[in-house]
Chain A
Amino acid sequence: MADFDIPELKEIPEIPPLKEGAMAHSKPFESKPDFQEPLGFPGELVDNWEQVAVEKLGELKGKFRSLQVFLDSCVKCGACTDKCHYFLGTADPKNMPVARQDLLRKVYRRYYTFAGKFFPKLVGAVDMTKDVLDEWYSYFHQCSQCRRCSVYCPYGIDTAEISMAAREIMDAVGLGQKYCNEIIAKVHKIGNNLGLPEPALADTLEGLEEEVKDDTGVDIKFPLDVKGAEILLVTPSADFFAEPHVDGLIGYAKVFHETGASWTLSSYASEAANFGMFIGSYENMRRISRRIRKAAKELGVKRIIFGECGHAWRVAYSFLNTLAGPWDFLDPNYPVPQHICEYTWEAIQQGKLKFDPSENDHMTLTFHDSCNVARASRMGDKPGGQLEIPRNILKTVCNNYVDMPENTIGEATFCCGGGGGLLTDDLMELRVKGAMPRMAAYKSVVDDYGVTNLAAICAICKTQFAKVLPYYGFTMDQIVSLHQLVGDALILSDAPGDDDDTDDEE
């Protein structure tokens, strides 16, 4: 099944003995001029790239306090060394967060610190060489920017910030990553990661309406570009096609239908994902975000709600106000933006939704906290709402729910292994090995509590799990969308006749 060893699943992931260079061969496909230029980057490696790289580093440390402080503050205490899922899964010491940071830090020291200029050997400072650049390209594409290390660092050093800066520098010298940059170019041009134009999107949504009608007997709408709608739903484009994502989209539509909401999707801003964050490009992240502002203005909506997507929710919750605000033209009674889980949970609390949780009785569920939701965003008005609200919803719509071990969920959650712009087939070995800690935690509740399925609220997590679950002896359909469970248990008040479940498959 794979031309690399699949890690064995132990009860709680053990700290592996170091295997130097174990993942030195791992690197994603390089970008092409066609994908680089629309993003404002050189098409290929520029001649004076050493100088450009060093100058870009200087520019970034002047624009981002995080970078400047994080490059200076590390004391090599070792607190982060066993926290990265890629380290635990690959045993490559350069996947220890501090070692990954040092790949950039050693160049920073050489050009920007007294000690590195005059005593390079003493402080491990090195010149910007092709070897260094190649190492960056490999190991900064082995970080999913999940921020788990930052939870444990006594100075809050977040390797994600370092990885983003390194990728921004690599883009500036013309060494981009194909997967991310090709996708961003599509968003700039068409509006979504899939490059799905308006007619195809309209067609897809129409198909969904028919499918749901057949299934439920109810006319549930998937409106597109409806001017004057109250709510603009921005969801990852994977929700339009991929499994189990699309079941989540059907779930949102059912919730909107049942609450009587007036809502719409936008063909112009048909993507919640924002890969600009992955490549550390403020400008690209901003450009993508501003499509949502434009769509919201043109459609005249009053609220913006985001579908299930982890990093998208980070950009939405934490950055959207900065990048595309102020939102003074929207209804001030609602936070901007809101998460679909916030919307659903509020409707549940207001008694607007009735459920038959026995519809989900064929499953025993657990919940995977997506890293960007857990450690980089919030839901509701209290800290930690991003951990509680999805669980509250799950416990409302399912009878059988079990959490995975404490040190693998919540703020300590393990990344799915495919986040941060790594969800590409050319990084399959990394993705499988990086999923090991999550798979081990999942296996422990499968073995101990008979858990059958894993619910998630992130398009990347869903795609990644569908792909890697089989490597660990599970089946790809064990990953489900949270709103799929909501939709399946929701009692539609205008459903025809008695619901006698005769067509229930299984």
Chain B
Amino acid sequence: MSALSVSYALLFYVATLIFVIGVARKIWIYAKTPAPLKIPTMPAPVTKSGVVLRMAREVVLFASLFKSNKWIWLFGWLFHMAMFLVLARHLRYFTDPVWWWVNLIQPFGKYAAFGMLIGLLGLWARRFFVERIRYITGPSDHLMLALLLGITITGMSMTFVAHTDIVMVKDFFRGLMVGSIRPLPDDINLLLHLAFVAALLIVFPVSKLLHAPGVFFSPTRNQVDDAREKRHIAPWAAELDAAESGN
């Protein structure tokens, strides 16, 4: 087995581990940290099903962002939705036989890459040309976009310019899934693509990519407006009451 295949295999094991444990740890922290006060941004739904709907509008349609700024919404939404299609298409490299719905979206998933590209370029351009956004942009914000663009461009060049030995790639990842290291094509596009993806997995739990789990835990979006009907109290706040019970 080539040193290259072994290094990439190890890289992906480590990256996946960091990603899974890192994100799980953050989700655990978000879940166990109490929200002591009712702070939904009003007007807010008064039922749980209303909150599910509100949250769905946020994560599927980016409703608040749409209210805010049509350009950011357009590029941001395009990028994210295209990315989900592309990610779903990639399931074909991990499943055998390939699930029917993955086959169904295959052509859309292929061209969605252009959506990602346009979205990322649009978002990055705003970081240079809009004064306010330039002001709030730091080096890590540029790096994150560079990384995502790197993944997109190397991926697209394998789809549309120079195909890699995709059967071999699939065999490599299917192998990793059962703990066996199999050869990986030494195609520079592929190697870059995979290295960028591994880097993204590694930085995910320590970067602003935490917005993905974070949005589901945002009290201003996920709380029901029922403060008068139900007493909402955090454990640490209940202790204050217990300490002076009787009044």
Contact = CB atoms under 8 A, between A and B. Distances in A.
Given A73-B215, A99-B136, A322 B69 contact: no
Contact of B227 (A18, A64, A319, A374): A319
Contact of A282 (B36, B38, B232): B36
6 contacts: A65-B30, A76-B137, A96-B132, A150-B41, A153-B68, A154-B76
Interface string A403-424: 0000000010000000000000
Interface string B53-79: 000001000101101110010001000
Contacts of A17: 131
A210 B154 CA distance: 83
Interface string B22-63: 000010011001111111011111100000000000100010
B34 A383 contact: no
Interface string B136-156: 111111010000000000000
Contacts of A63: 33-34, 36, 234, 236
Interface in B188-247: 203, 206-208, 210-211, 214-215, 217-221, 225, 227-234, 236-237, 240, 247
A465 interface: no
Contacts of B29: 68
Contact of A152 (B36, B67, B140, B229): B67
B76 A156 contact: no
A348 to B, nearest CB: 21
A77 B72 contact: yes
Interface of B: 26, 29-30, 33-39, 41-46, 58, 62, 64-65, 67-69, 72, 76, 123, 126, 130-133, 135-141, 143, 203, 206-208, 210-211, 214-215, 217-221, 225, 227-234, 236-237, 240, 247
B85 to A, nearest CB: 20
Nearest to A20: B135
Given A68-B30, A156-B221, A77 B65 contact: yes
B227 A72 contact: no
A430 interface: no
A76 B39 CA distance: 22
A342 B234 CA distance: 29
A375 B221 CA distance: 12
Nearest to B55: A156
Given A151-B64, A411-B43, A65 B217 contact: yes
Given A68-B30, A72-B214, A121 B139 contact: yes
B68 A158 contact: no
Nearest to A99: B136
A273 B140 CA distance: 42
A374 B183 CA distance: 61
A61 B35 CA distance: 10
A227 interface: no
A443 interface: no
Contacts of B123: 77
B139 A122 contact: yes
B247 A293 contact: yes
B64 A156 contact: yes
Contacts of A75: 141, 208, 211
Nearest to A152: B68
A123 interface: yes
A376 B208 contact: no
B227 A322 contact: yes
A386 B42 contact: yes
A79 B72 contact: yes
Nearest to B221: A156
Interface string A174-196: 00000000000000000000000
Given A76-B138, A122-B138, A383-B225, 13 more contacts: A64-B34, A69-B217, A72-B214, A75-B208, A79-B68, A102-B136, A156-B219, A319-B227, A321-B227, A321-B228, A378-B225, A383-B45, A384-B43
A76 B37 CA distance: 26
Contacts of B33: 61-65, 68-69
A82 to B, nearest CB: 7
B218 A156 contact: yes
A286 B239 CA distance: 13
A69 B37 contact: no
Nearest to B64: A154
B135 A72 contact: no
Contacts of A93: 132, 135-136
Contact of B240 (A81, A151, A283, A378): A283
A109 B216 CA distance: 21
A282 B237 contact: yes
A359 interface: no
Contacts of A337: 228
Contacts of B126: 78
Contact of B214 (A61, A73, A374): A73
Contacts of A282: 36-37, 237
Interface of A: 15, 17-18, 61-66, 68-70, 72-83, 93, 96, 98-99, 102, 113-115, 119, 121-124, 147, 150-158, 161, 282-283, 286, 290, 293-294, 297, 317-319, 321-322, 325-326, 335-337, 374-378, 381-384, 386-387, 411
Task: From B33, B45, B247, name the one whose CB has the most chain A CB atoms within 10 angstroms.
Answer: B33
A317 B206 contact: no
A353 B76 CA distance: 52
A123 B37 CA distance: 30
A397 B155 CA distance: 66
A195 to B, nearest CB: 24
B235 to A, nearest CB: 10
A219 B220 CA distance: 46
Nearest to A62: B33
Nearest to A17: B131
Given A76-B141, A383-B46, A81 B136 contact: yes
Contact of B132 (A62, A66, A82, A158): A82
Contacts of B44: 378, 383
B160 to A, nearest CB: 29
Given A18-B131, A64-B35, A383 B137 contact: no
B219 A65 contact: yes
A359 to B, nearest CB: 32
Contact of B64 (A76, A147, A153, A376): A153
B133 to A, nearest CB: 4
Given A96-B132, A152-B64, A322 B214 contact: no
Task: From B206, B207, B215, name the one whose CB has the most chain A CB atoms within 10 angstroms.
Answer: B206
Listed from nearest, the 9 A-B pairs whose CB atoms lie closest are A73-B214, A156-B220, A152-B68, A383-B43, A79-B68, A78-B133, A81-B132, A156-B221, A154-B65
A72 B26 contact: yes
A68 B143 CA distance: 24
A318 B140 contact: no
